[in-house]
Structures are given as structure tokens and as C-alpha cells.
Amino acid sequence: MRLVLAVVGLLAVCVLAATVPVPLVTLGPGPTFNTLDDQDGKPVVDVTGLPTYATSGHLNMTTVSVTDGLTTFQVLRAWLDPDQQVVPRNAVFPAGQTQQQIDAKNDADFSGSETSAVSAALTYLDLPSQVVVGPDIAGLPVNPVLRPGDRIVSVQGKEIGRIGDIRAALAGTTPGQQIPVEIVRDDGPVQAVTVTLIQLGGGNTQGGLGIAPVARPAGDEKITISLTGVGGPSAGLMFSLAVVDRLTPGELTGGTFIAGTGEIAATGEVGAIAGIPLKLIAAKDAGATVFLVPAANCTEARESAPEGITLVKVERLTDAVSDLDTIRAGGTAPTC
């Protein structure tokens, strides 16, 4: 009788282990997407109204796949797979949020990365742009007079056509000073507002508008990034490089299969991201031989890089373009 009960109990445990989800998920190498290619018959990066140049090769963004709804047996198998990571579910899906809220956040982050990527490319290329107030950034002071989406027309009577024009227009100002700023809000007419300048961080004595400016194409020019099935902010660097490649003569890749990752700010700074080891595996599997790594991720990348892939350290978009120029010329770019 005891043996029968033990067998029944063991079978029950096995059934539970094979069918009942546990609060864990697995992370693995996700698909990579060539930002110079097409998806569903449309260019991933499309430019209209500006001179463009032919591109070829690979500038692949990388992703991480997430598998949810795992059973105990599936988790055990994943723990034995060196290409999988098992993490608590709430590390990926925050507790108290619905799937709809999580998807909306990922979509918003991805959309923000597209906007920042275009802005960074326009700033790098020093092209005339419309400069708008970007979304508020945690930890940065916010000016209550200016709202996200406002287009900055002029500052102290000086026309604004590039992000750098704002700092130049504020030369010699001090925090607390009130200055005239012309803006366009909600596609309305140009209006004048009075802005009280704020204290910038880092010991800077010049006054600041208290905004995160974003550059976007001027007039009827359009730069459109279209990629479905991807979320999060980490594709920004590779999108920016694709825009630069489209808008400049020659080809950035020079026949080298380039992959990479990195969140990008509207002014070109490249920020750290999660999932570097898994993205490196995905890049290697896709055929990449060079991987662009945010400088802040270099230590993690060195510890997990597959053989045969060169890690190139990137702090800004300018670094990435310069590094690709060096590689194309047969030189050695700065590595992690």
C-alpha cells in the first residue's frame, strides 16, 4: 500500500512539474534584423526628401527572446543549456502590470529609440532640422513653460535649426534669467513665451532651457523606421548608423558583417543595455564578425564573447562611424 501511495505521489509530482507554470522565464538569443534591408517589402529605414546613397552589407540590430509560461521540467532543461538564462518572471514582467501595459511600454521605448536614432543621425550629419522638446527625462530639471512636442523656433531672437543652436543662443546667460523663446505648439501659430532659465548640472554656470531637445527632419523631409515584432530601446545605435549610411556617400560596412546594440540619446550618446551575452550569441549565429558594444557593457561583453567576433567599444555615434571607417580601411578600431 505504501508503495502504491509513493508511486501515485511521484506521478502527481511529475504531472505538476510537467504542466503547472512556474514564476520563471528563460532568455535566449533572439532574431537579428539588418537595418539596411527590407521587412515585409518596405525598407527598415526609408528616407524621402533628402539625397540618399546606395547601401549594402549588414548593420544588424540584435534582440533577446523571452519564453514565458514555463513548467519545472522546461526550466530544468533551460538551466542545462548554455545559451539560455533563467530569471524570475518579475524581472521581465513587472508585478502588477498587465500584458497590455507591458507591451505598451515596450512599444513606447521602441518608438522613442527610433526618434532618438533619427535625431542623433541628423545631429551627427549637422543637417538643418526642426528642434522639438523631447519627453521628460528622469533626473533632469523640467521647465514648466515648455512642453514635450513644442517646436523651438528661436531663442533670444536667434533661429534654431540644430540642437547645438540652443546652447549657442544661450551663451552668456545665467540661471534665473528670463529670456524670450518662440515656439510652435500643436501645429498652431508661432507664439512667444518667456522662459526662466534653470541651473544645469555638472558645474555649468550657463542657464539652460530645462528640456531634452530632439532633432527631426525639416519641412517635407521624412526619415521613417519600420520594424515590426520588436520592442525596447536597444536598437537605437544600429538605426542611427543605417540613417547615416543612407545619407552619406560610400558604404559603412565595407563588406564586413557588422552587428551591435545600444540605446542612443537624441544627441548621440550610446547607453548600456541588457542581454549582451545573448545578443553576442545571436550575432555570431547570424554571421557577424564585428559587434558594436556600448562602452558601459564592455566588461560583460569581454567575459562572454564567442570566438571569432571582435568587440568594438562605442560611447557615441561619432565613435561608431569612425570605428567603421577604420575597419573598412583595414585598421583596428578600439576594442573592449
Q: Tell me, what CATH number does 169's domain have?
A: 2.30.42.10
Say if residue 225 is in the same domain as residue 313: yes
Question: Where does a domain end: 217, 232, 254?
Answer: 217
Report whether 334 contacts 295 (CB < 8 A). no
For residues 315-333, give the mean pLDDT: 95
Say if residue 119 is in the same domain as residue 227: yes
Looking at the structure of the chain, the number of domains it has is 2
Say if residue 156 is in the same domain as residue 197: yes
Please indicate, yes or no, if residue 109 is contained in any of the structural domains: yes
Say if residue 287 is in the same domain as residue 239: yes
CATH at residue 64: 3.30.230
* Sign of the C-alpha dihedral computed for residues 320, 321, 327 and 330 taken in this order: negative
* pLDDT at site 19: 52
* pLDDT at site 59: 97
pLDDT band at 7 (very low <50, low <70, confident <90, very high): very low
Task: Record the pTM.
Answer: 0.87
What would the pLDDT profile of 146-171 be if each residue is shown by its tens digit? 999 999 999 999 999 999 999 999 99
Please indicate, yes or no, if residue 336 is contained in any of the structural domains: no
What would the pLDDT profile of 106-134 be if each residue is shown by its tens digit? 777 778 888 999 999 999 999 999 999 98
Say if residue 213 is in the same domain as residue 226: no
Please indicate, yes or no, if residue 270 is contained in any of the structural domains: yes
What would the pLDDT profile of 74-116 be if each residue is shown by its tens digit? 878 878 888 888 888 888 878 777 777 777 777 777 788 889 9
Backbone angles phi, psi at 194, to 5 degrees: -105, 125
Q: Which domain holds residue 183?
A: 129-217
What would the pLDDT profile of 24-76 be if each residue is shown by its tens digit? 888 999 999 999 999 888 999 999 999 999 999 999 999 999 888 888 878 78
Residue position matching grid coordinates 532568455: 27
Buried b (16+ CB within 10 A) or exposed e, 306-315: eeebbbbbbb
* Per-residue cell: 101: 501595459
What would the pLDDT profile of 275-304 be if each residue is shown by its tens digit? 999 999 999 999 999 999 999 999 999 999
Say if residue 149 is in the same domain as residue 259: no
Say if residue 146 is in the same domain as residue 261: no
Say if residue 310 is in the same domain as residue 261: yes
Please indicate, yes or no, if residue 301 is contained in any of the structural domains: yes
Question: Where does a domain end: 192, 217, 242?
Answer: 217
* pLDDT at site 139: 62
Please indicate, yes or no, if residue 20 is contained in any of the structural domains: no
Q: Is 186 left (phi over 0), alpha (psi -120 to 50) or beta?
A: left
What would the pLDDT profile of 203-257 be if each residue is shown by its tens digit? 677 889 988 899 999 888 999 998 877 777 889 999 999 999 999 999 999 989 9
Please measure the distance between the N-terminal and C-terminal CA atoms of the chain and give it in whole angstroms.
64
Please indicate, yes or no, if residue 290 is contained in any of the structural domains: yes
Say if residue 194 is in the same domain as residue 301: no
Please indicate, yes or no, if residue 110 is contained in any of the structural domains: yes
d(CA 293, CA 125): 22
* pLDDT at site 14: 41
Say if residue 120 is in the same domain as residue 226: yes
Question: Where does a domain end: 193, 217, 241?
Answer: 217
Say if residue 253 is in the same domain as residue 105: yes
Say if residue 100 is in the same domain as residue 149: no
- β-pairing, 257-260 vs 58-61, is parallel
Please indicate, yes or no, if residue 81 is contained in any of the structural domains: yes
* pLDDT at site 10: 38
* Per-residue cell: 334: 578600439
